[in-house]
Structures are given as C-alpha cells and as structure tokens.
Chains A and B, each alone.
Chain A
Amino acid sequence: MMSIEIDDDEKEDTSRRPAKAVVGSHRDEQEVFGKVYDPRIVRRIWSFVKPYRGRILISVVAVLVFTLTQLAIPLIIRHAIDNGMKAGSADRAVLAWTVGVFALVILINYAASYMQENVVGKVAEMVLSDLRRAMFNHLQRVSLSFMDKTEVGRLMSRLQGDVNSMQEFLETSVMSVGDIALLFGIVSVLLWLDLRLGLLTLSTMPALFVVRLFWLPRAKVAFMAAHETNSIANGALAEGIHGVRTVQSLERQHVNFDLYDEKVLANLNTHLTSARYAQIMVPIVDTLTGIAMATVIVVGGSMVLDRSLDIGVMVAFLFYIQRFFDPIRSLTMQYSVMQRAMASGERVSEVLDVPLDVKDKADAVALSADMEGSVEFRKVTFGYRKNQPVLRNVSFRVNPGEIVALVGPTGSGKSSCMALAHRFYDVWDGQVLVGGLDVRDLTQGSLGEQIAMVLQEPFLFSGSVFENIRYNKMDASREDVIRAAQAVGAHDFIAQLPDGYDTQLEQRGGNLSLGQRQLISFARALVANAKILVLDEATASIDSYTEMLIQKALIRLLEGRTGLVIAHRLATVRGADRIIVLQNGEVIESGNHDQLMAAKGLYSRLYTMNYTSFDDILGAVETQTPIATT
C-alpha cells in the first residue's frame, strides 16, 4: 500500500467552480400526491373518525343548514324588492315582515356556521391527536427489526407532517359537502327562478371547469417544483448551520455561498413560475364573472323591460353570480387536498400495519422477582435478514450470580446475544431461557423488570437528572435515587450541577460529558434493581479519570447480580467469571482468562495484539461488516 501524502505540484484550477462540490443533500422526496380515492385508506381514516360520527353528522347537518341560509338571502332580498317595494303596489308591512325573516335567517346562519366550524375544527384536532397516539403506541410495540430499518427522521415526519395533512383533509371535507350543496343549490335556484336566464348564465360554468382541468395538472407541477426547491434550499441552510464549525475550519465559505446562491435562486424562479400559474386564474375567473353578469344585464334586463321577469329576480341573479365561482374554486382545491391526504394516509397506514411480531402470548406468565436469575441460550440461531444468520447454533449458560464476558470482533454477534436475552427479537431456532423459562412464554413487561440493560451509548431523556435516574420506576424515592447515584459514583458531580438532582438536562444530556451520562445510565440501571444485568460496555472516548470511576461503578453495579457483559476493556474481561469468545456468530472459545490464554486461540491473539481495549481491533475485519449490527 502506498502511503504517500499529497506532494504533487500540479496546480488545481481554483478559478473555475468545483464540479462535484455540493451544499445540502437532495432528499428523495416522498410521493406528495396519491390516488384521489383509495378505499383501503378511506376505511383506515374512517376507523379514526368513527368514534366521532355523531358529531360529524351534526356538523354535516349544520353545514347544509348554513348553505341553505346562504342560498336564501338573495331570495329574501328578491322578495323584499318584488313584493315590498314594487312601484305602485309597495307594501311596508311586507317589507317589515321580510326583513324579519331575514333577521331570523341570519340568526340561523350564525348558529349553523358556529356549530359546523366549531364541531369540525375540534373533531379534526381530536382525530389528529388520536391518530398520532395510535401510531406512537404502535411504534412502542413493533419489534426492533422494524425500528432498525427505519430512520427516526422518517418516522417523525409521518407522525407530524402526514398526520397534519390528514387533519387538513378532515376539515376541508366537511366544507366541501357545503360547497357541493352550494353549487347545486345555486344552479337549482337559478333554474327555478328563470329557466332560460338560468341556462344562459350557467353556460359560463363549464368553461371554468374546462379551464381548470387544463390548468390544474400544469399548475401542480409548478407548485411541486416550488415546494421541492424550497426544501432543498432549506436543507442546505440547515446543513450550513449544523456544520458551520467545519466549514469555517476548512475555509469553504466562498464555495458554499455560491452553491447556496444557486439553490436559492432556483427556488426564487420556481416560486415566480408558480405565482404566475396561480395568478393566471384570477383574470379568467373575473372575466367569466363579467360575462355572466353582462348576460344577466342584457338578457335579464330585456326580460324585465318586457315585464316577463321581476326586477327582484334579476337582482337575485346578480347576487348569486358573485358567489358562483367560489365553490368551484374550492372544490378543485379540495381535489389536491384529497390526493395529498391519500398519500399521507398511505404512509400512516404503513406504520400502523407493521405487524407486531414480538408480542406476549395469550397465556404468557410474569417472570417472578425471586427467580434464580440464570440466562441460557440453547442452540440459538438468529439473524436480521433472511438467510443471513448472525448467530449460529449458539449455546451457553450464565449461572445465577455469575459474570460472563462476551468478547469478539465487530459483527461477531455479541450485541445480538444481548438483544435476544431481552427478547428485542425472536430467535429463528433454539431457545433463550431466563430464570429457566423460555422468554417467549413470559410477559415482556416482567422480563423488562428483571433484566436491566446498559447500552454503549448512554441515552438520556429531557427532564431532570432525578427523573432520568428514576425513569419508569415511579415508586423509587428520592433517597433511592441518591443512594444509587452514590453507589455508582455519580453523586458528586450531580451535586455540583446548578440545581443538583433537579437540574434539567439539555437535549440528550448535552450539558454532561459522555462519562457523566454513562454514570447516570448506570444509576438508572441500579434503581431498576433487576436480577440480571446486561451491559454493553462503553468504549467511546472517555478520559482515564472517568474511566476509573466507571470501572468502580461497574463492580458495584454487578454485585449480587447475574451479569452478561459485552466487554471491550481488559479490566472487565479479566474480572469476569467466564469469557465467551464469539466469531462469525459462533461460540469458539469459552473459559476464564488463564484457560483461554493457555489455549492460544483467538482470545490470546486478540489479547496480545491490543493495548487497552478490545475495541475496533479489526481494521482489517471491518470491511466485511460495513454497518454494525448494534
């Protein structure tokens, strides 16, 4: 291998723009629009709306009443004009009476609009909330195989964005019932008032339909482009903010600025295009309205002159025309909303449809707190992907109170053993027994209570230090928490935090060092007070001082418990009662340190090769395992 650093004198041409440099990443856009109607998804949405069907019914009735009152108003005006103030036969009483009816109608209108919008608005919020909860709840139960494959970011966008567009759909779909009613109402009333004039006036309506049918697909492309370039530009901005330290230390600001400029400019242009598309409809609709009104004036006006039409009817026509295009406009918009909702519904369903493959049997028993605390693997075969077993026929037993270290190269299956003991996954073949019982016969909750787990990367939640240590052991007192912290040697630094145990942690415990976070996660495991401790030893950059603390804490943590430890540090390995060496998913050696050293196998080779840890030993091996299974 040539290990020559850069020493060529070829001048790179920095005057031209770098060909491959990028800012931001182009994410594969999810399908934004789906089919307009997909019965499966509508059924799914319906299942969430169903609990509120009484209210939905009320709001549909309210929206119909509302529409009727909207339709009635021009008719009332017409009545007032034709019967109340007709030249010659004017009748004040009719006028007063008609105004009274008007007052009544607007009160009904008020009540109906309040009912409808209030009920729909709240139902939509509640459905949204239920939907989110159902997804969240489901994700709490699906097996980790699904979670491993799915990015958290993608799931979050489903929990948020997709659920939101479903809400929009719910809100507008009741409105569109009203729109359809209004459309048909206007058409019927116009034809009923005067068939000929009605037909003539309505003849402009198909024109708008045709125009919009022609316009919609093109406009949608333009809107999508604007949307997409926008998210690209925003992505580049977010990257610029997150990576600013690297950008500055590598002096990339100029290049990035130019590249960002390009993206923002593209966004500007697509926005302008889509604005053109959006606005082109305005004069068209106005012109058509103008034509319709002109028709009423000429045709209706002549009819009035002929005395074949009441003047009030003409006034009513003119009022209706002003409302005429609104429902058409919102209905065509509703079409896109519906498509979007279908696409979102599809993605929401995907999450809700993930089968629960790891779940409690009907007759599952609770693991009792006074079980002996052994862990046994019997001929376990397991993998994440079909035909690619990660563990092959693995058998071993950890006796109560014993501490067993798992050792082996990256990808040898250590972490999988850990996950199986806790039944994060189900084995393909063989059995995992805890306290002498097959984990599949136990309830997951009781298993979780008896097996505490400490992960390599300590994960803390937002909230106070106290809440993090107590976690879901709600009956643990403050004293219990402090005692646990003292035991693992975390008390001193916690006491020094601004608010001691009540100090709020920043996102993922960002205001603590990695070592401190690890100690808190130890304390959490101690409070959980489980018989069995499964532990993936921390390997990351912890300074020697903290490391000493952690080693001490570890000994305290394992006292009187059965321990299954993925060991990276020699100190832990040597302290174990027994060492199991895994390679390619098989147990190849087992015994205590001295036995294994004497055997001169893989263990002794690894041991002599390395300085202080078993970590990352395998510069050479790692090419075989591009993505670790942990």
Chain B
Amino acid sequence: MNADASNSALKRRDSFAHVAEASWGKGLSTLLRITRMTLRHPWQVAITLISTFLAATLQLFIPRLLGQAIDQAQGVIGQGADSGAEHALWITALILFVVSMLRGFFTMLQNYFGEAVGHQTGYELRLAFYEKIQRLSFSFHDRVHTGDLITLGLLDLDGVRMFFSTGLVRVVLLGVLVGVGAFLLVRTDILLGLLSLSFVPFVAWRSSVTQLALRSTWLMLQDRLSVLSRVMDENLGGIRVVRAFAAQAHELKKFDRAKEAALELAKRRVDIRVGNTSAMNLSFFAAMALVLWFGGEKVIAGEISVGTLAQFLTFMTILQMPVRQLGLMVNSFARASTCGTRLLALLDLDLDIKDAPGAKDLVITEGVLRFENVGFRYAGASSTAALSDISFEAKAGETIGIVGPPGSGKSTIAHLVPRFYDVSSGRITIDGQDIARVTLQSLRKAVGVVQQDAFLFTTSIENNIAYGNPWAREQRIERAAESAQLHNYIIGLPAGYTTVVGERGASLSGGQRQRLAIARSLMLRPSVLIFDDSTAAIDAGTEQRIRTAMRRFAKDRVTLIISHRLSSLMHSDQILFVENGRIVERGTHAELLAAGGRYRALYDLQLRPEDERRARNEGA
C-alpha cells in the first residue's frame, strides 16, 4: 500500500461518511478478514456457536412446556384421573427445570467463549498493532497524529474485538430464535403465528435505524466533546496567561459555547433513543394485544387451548429482547467494518524503512562516515528538496559542526544517518558499507542521536539512562551520567537514581533533560554520535565540561554537532554552513572567519561582542 492511500484510510473523516461507508463494499471484505481472524481459535468459536444454537433451541422449548403445563392443569390433556394429571404436571415441571438449567449453562458457555474469542483476538491485534507502530518510520509518524494512533489502538481495536461476541454470535442466536420459532408457531396456528411475529419487522427496522443514528451522532458528539475538553485543557494548561490577561470571562464564554454545542447534541440523542425505544415497546405490546384478542376468540371458538395461547404470548416475551438487540448487532457490524478498515489499513502498511534483503550487520573498522552527494526530500512535500548534494567525510576522532539558519536542513542530516529517513539520492556509508544495506539494528546501535526535544519515559532516571541498554550495570549508568554532568544533580535528589521522572514524575529543567538524553546516548557506545541541537538549554560552562569529559573517548568516534550556537561547534575539525539544503561554506572556525562569508556574519552577531568582552575582562 502506498503512503497516500494509507494516509486517507487512516484519516478520521466526517462522521456520517463513516457509517454510510461502513455498510457495504470495502466493509464486507474487512468483516470477512475479521471473521477469519476469530477462526484462529477454532475450538472456542465452535463451542460458542454450538452453545448459542443449543441455548436458543432450549429456550424455544420453554413456551411449549409452559403451554403444555397450563393445558395439563386444566385437565385438557390429562383427562380424567387426577393422579395422572398431577403426574403429568410433575414431569412437565421437571423437564422445564432441566431445560432452564441447561439453557443457563449453554448461555454461559456462549457468552464466556464468545468473549474469550474476542479477548484473544484483541490480544493478538494489540500486539500486532504495537509492533507495527514501533517499526513504522519517522515519515509515517510525522504524517499521522499521535492522538489518532491512540484512538486507533484503543477504540478501533475494541470495535474489531467485540465483533464476534456482539455481532456474529447474535446473528446465530437471532436466526435460530426467529427462524425456528416462527416455523414452530406458524405450524401451530398461522394467524396467531403471524400476529405474534408482526412486531419483529418493525422493531428490527427501528432498532437498526436508531442504532446507526445513535452511532453517527455519537461520533459527532465525540468531536464536540473533544472541542470541549480542548477548551478545558488549554485553559488549565495556560492558566497563567488566562489570569495575566484577566480573561476568565472570555474563557468561560468559550467554554459555554463548546458546552452548549455538546449539550444540544446530547439532548438530540436522548430524543432519538427514547422516541424509538418507546415506539418499539408499543409495537410489541400492540402485537400482544392482537394475539390476545384473536387468540381469545379462537379459544372461545374451541380452536386452540388456553395453553396454546399462553405459549404464543410467552414466546413473544422471549423473542422481544433479541429482536431489540438487532440494532446493537447492526451497530456492531458497522463499527467493526469502519474500525476494522482503519486498523487493517495500518497493519497492512509496508514498513518503508526496513532491512534490505540479505542485509548484514554493520562492521565498524576505521569509523569513517561519508555522505556522498546526498539529496533528500520529505514525502508529500513535492516541490523543494530538503537537502541536495551534501558530501563530506568524517574519520573517527573528528568532530563536524553543522550550522545554518532555521529550516536550512541541518537537522535532516542528523536524521539520515540512523536511517530515520532514507536518502532520496546519493548514499551514506560507514566504513564503506552503505547504511541502506546493513541491518537497521546494528546501524542504530552504532549511531547515537541526542534529539532536540528529549522524550523522557515515566520511570526512574536510571531506567531512562539505560533505556537503550537495559542490561547495563549500575556503574556504567553512573559513568554516563557523570560524563553528561548530571551525576551530581541526581545524587542530590532524595531518591537518587531511582527518582521517577517523565510526564508523571518529577520535572527536570530543559537543560537537565538534554543532559539526560546525552547520557542515554552515551550508553550505546555509538561510533557516530550526533547532537541535534541538543545543548541549546545547557549553559555554556556545563557544555564545555561535557565536551571535556567526552573528549577522551571521542577518538574512537565521529561526532556531529548541529547547533545554532556557534560556541557549541566552533572547536570542530570541520564546520559546514548549510543554507537551503546545501553546504554553502565549509572549513575550520578560523578559515571560515577569514573567508568573511555567512559564518563570519553569524559570528559577528553572536560571539564577537562576548569574545571581545572576555578579552577585555581577561586583560583587565
């Protein structure tokens, strides 16, 4: 599947379209695939279906037995001897008891195994989903919103999971009850049989329509509620801005607008729901009244017994529930097909960045990183190339500085080395091996990237540092933290290395987060270490100490420093000035200053005043 198609399949479109689209066409093949998935548990599926069949059949016996008992009690069948009639009653009662018990037993099996199949399928889907998400490339994650992925993994997956128990099983149940039941009833008495069933088409129709309407309005309601929660979330998150501008009234107005929109729709949903349930009830009771009337006439005329009439009436009571649930079944089909289509579209995606066939592990010998005429353009961005004609070479022990205005493509260079994206033209080699031809795992172990915005996992500092190497010994973790100038801070915390950080843990400052990210990358012992604008929040002095600490080991590795702060990279062996995706100046700090180009201009802007001041101070 190509990227564009996947994109549109994953997009959550207008709510009504969902439902309409769900019913036919593509939905069907999705449902077939989901059905096949459930068949991976053949035993449980078989038990469920057989139990459903048995439970429904047994249930159909109940009205007959009750009718029979009533007739026996009236002495219609057991004419004459009282003891015989009572004996017959005992037998009917016993059978009824056993039938009820067995029905309960099989219903239990039906429900349990139905759910079990669903949960098993859900388990498999969850793993497949997780695995896929973990492996899909950065370009995919750039394109698809995280919120949508989470919804896909939670709600859509649930929709697929529930399909078996709420959709397929109900088809069997309803089929047996209506099919067999109708046959039995109509055979007993055509008129009464048809009358008893007369509510079925109406209820089935109303229930399906209602459920679909509720579903589409539910999706709309979700949209409106998410607007509401966004208002709340932003208000709470930006509370200082709200207070600073004394904007409480303004915010409350925003809230009220969103609230009213949601409330209005919620009320409309109540109308839809209630109007239909009441109408369904009415049609059921109306059918019952007709059966009572015509049946009563027949009893009076001696055509049927009171027991038979009771049988019809009880049968209706039994049938009422499953017929009403037909709507839920339709809903389950609709939900499974839309959710399933989206989910399967994701699971079917090709991994655009994966091991080439016959890929070998990367072997580091000299530690030479080469960019050969590398060009790159982001997927979707049709017109301009993000990078073109980038060539440079770096040997182990060397540091390359990359600088340039925002949007010049300097970060993109960092993302190409570990193959977060694949080059569009040219190639990148490490020790002569094209990185596109080595295994991803070996490549990424060899390339450490300290990213701009360090993501911290909600776990201990220790676990965060050892994230890429969870088997590491404690001493190593501490040494990495020392190199990143973070150790002293950590041991000053009450819980030291076991302090929980991240979203729900203690907050670290921007500089501390970046230092933690540096320590984390050092744990991999990378042969290529890339700082992607990752020291911006670290003060110059600390950065200097980090550099010194790492220098001893830098001889075995290539270091790439991408920064807009010249002080971070002016000591590099080679500095590349990137603009509009091209290297426009290259050389050492001194060479570039002497050249008097863009680098020089940037230097004048950033550092010269400070250098001069320092020179003055030192002179003084």
The finding on whether chains A and B are genuine partners in a shared complex, rather than unrelated, reads: yes
Q: Count residues on chain B whose CB falls below 8 Å from chain A CBs.
A: 185
**A187 on interface, CB distance cutoff 8 Å:** no
Q: Which of B70-109 contact A (CB under 8 A)?
A: 70, 72-75, 82, 85-86, 89-90, 92-94, 96-101, 103-105, 107-108
Are A140 and B150 in contact, with the CB atoms below 8 A?
Answer: no
The residue of chain B having its C-beta at the shortest distance from the C-beta of A322 within the complex is B317
- Mark the stretch among B295-303, B334-342, B394-402, B583-591 that contacts chain A: B295-303
By beta carbon, the residue of chain A nearest B236 is A152
Q: Which residues in window 1-44 of A have CB below 8 A to B? A: 1-8, 10, 12-14, 16, 18, 20-22, 24-25, 27
Residues on B with C-beta less than 8 A from A286 are 100-101, 103-105, 107
Q: Are B69 and A297 in contact (CB under 8 A)?
A: yes
Instruction: Verify A92–B123 contact, CB threshold 8 A.
Output: no
Does A95 touch B at the CB level, under 8 Å? yes
Nearest Cβ on chain A to B196's Cβ, whole angstroms: 14
Contact B296 A80 (CB under 8 A): yes
Q: Choose one: A246, A275, A283; the contact of B116 (CB below 8 Å).
A: A275
How far is the CB of A63 from the nearest CB of chain B, in Å?
A: 13
Residues in chain A near residue B467, CB distance under 8 A: 246, 250, 252
CB of A103 within 8 Å of the partner chain: yes
Bound CA span A597–B297, Å: 112
Bound Cα distance from A616 to B441, whole angstroms:
37
Instruction: Give the docked Cα–Cα distance between A237 and B126 (Å).
Output: 9
Q: Quick check: B606 and A77 within 8 Å, CB to CB?
A: no
Q: How far is the CA of A442 from the CA of B552 in the complex (A)?
A: 62
Determine whether the beta carbon of B306 is less than 8 Å from that of A6: no
Distance of A5 Cα from B472 Cα, bound (Å): 13
Q: Which residues of chain B have C-beta atoms less than 8 A from A267's C-beta? A: 123
Max count, chain A CB within 10 A of own CB: residue among B238, B522, B610, B617 = B238
Q: Is the CB of A544 within 8 A of B278?
A: no
Considering only CB atoms, which chain B residue lies closest to A137 in the complex?
A: B252
Q: Is there an interface contact between A305 and B314, defined as CB atoms closer than 8 Å?
A: no
B111 CB to nearest A CB, Å: 5
Contact B245 A448 (CB under 8 A): yes
Q: Does B572 contact A (CB under 8 A)?
A: no
Residue of B nearest to A25 (CB): B458
**Among B82, B104, B275, which residue has its beta carbon within 8 angstroms of that of A284?**
B104
The answer to whether B293 touches A99, judged by C-beta atoms less than 8 angstroms apart, is yes
**Chain B contact residues, majority secondary structure:** helix
Given A144-B240, A283-B105, A612-B606, A125 contacting B270 (CB threshold 8 A): yes
Hey, which chain A residues are within 8 Å of B292, CB to CB? Answer: 77, 80, 98-99, 102
Report whether B549 and A5 are in contact in the complex, using a CB–CB cutoff of 8 Å: yes
**Is B322 an interface residue when CB atoms closer than 8 A count as contact?**
no
Check if B459 is an interface residue, CB within 8 A of chain A: yes
Q: Which residues of B contact A234 (CB under 8 A)?
A: 153-154
Contact A422 B263 (CB under 8 A): no
Asked whether A110 lies within 8 Å of B278 as measured between CB atoms, the reply is: yes
Cβ-defined partner of A133 (8 Å) among B73, B101, B236, B256:
B256
CB < 8 Å neighbour of A256 from B129, B134, B553: B134
Closest A residue by C-beta to B483:
A5
A566 at the interface (CB under 8 A from B): no
Q: Quick check: A301 and B130 within 8 Å, CB to CB?
A: no
Quick check: is A84 within 8 A (CB to CB) of the other chain?
yes
- A252-288 to B contact mask, C-beta < 8 Å, 1/0: 1101110011001101100110011011101111110
For B86, the closest partner residue in chain A by CB is A302
The interface bits of chain B over 208-239 (1 if a CB of A lies within 8 angstroms of the residue's CB, else 0) are 00000000000000000000011011111111
B126 to chain A: closest residue by CB: A264
Stretch in contact with the other chain, from A212-220, A311-319, A552-560: A311-319
How many Å lie between the Cα of A271 and that of B116 in the bound state? 8
Residue interface mask B542-568, A partner, CB < 8 A = 1: 100100111011000000000011010
Q: Kindly report which residue of chain A lies nearest to residue B233, judged by CB atoms.
A: A156
Chain B nearest CB, measured from A500 CB (Å) = 19
Question: Does A388 touch B at the CB level, under 8 Å?
Answer: no
Q: Check if B131 sits within 8 Å of A297, measured CB to CB.
A: no
* A172 at interface by CB-CB < 8 Å: no
B300 closest partner in A (C-beta): A90
Contact B502 A283 (CB under 8 A): no
Docked-complex contact A544 and B248, CB < 8 angstroms: no
Find out whether the CB atom of A297 lies under 8 angstroms from the CB atom of B504.
Answer: no
B-contact 0/1 string along A576-607, CB 8 Å cutoff: 00000000000000000000000000000000
- A446, B245: Cα distance in complex, Å: 10
Find the B residue at minimum CB distance from A233. Answer: B126
Known contacts: A243-B455, A453-B244. The answer to whether A92 contacts B504 by CB under 8 A is no
CB-based contact B540/A610 at 8 Å: yes
Asked if A444 is an interface residue, CB under 8 A from chain B, the answer is yes
Q: Could you say which of B82, B247, B309, B406 contacts A543, with CB atoms under 8 Å apart?
A: B406
| Contact between B263 and A22, CB atoms less than 8 A apart | no
Known: A14-B471, A271-B119, A541-B564. 10 other contacts (CB 8 A): A118-B271, A121-B274, A156-B233, A239-B457, A245-B451, A285-B104, A462-B230, A546-B406, A612-B540, A612-B606
What are 14 A-B pairs with beta-carbon distances under 8 A?
Answer: A6-B525, A25-B458, A90-B300, A106-B289, A250-B520, A251-B524, A260-B130, A305-B86, A305-B89, A453-B241, A611-B540, A611-B567, A616-B511, A622-B512
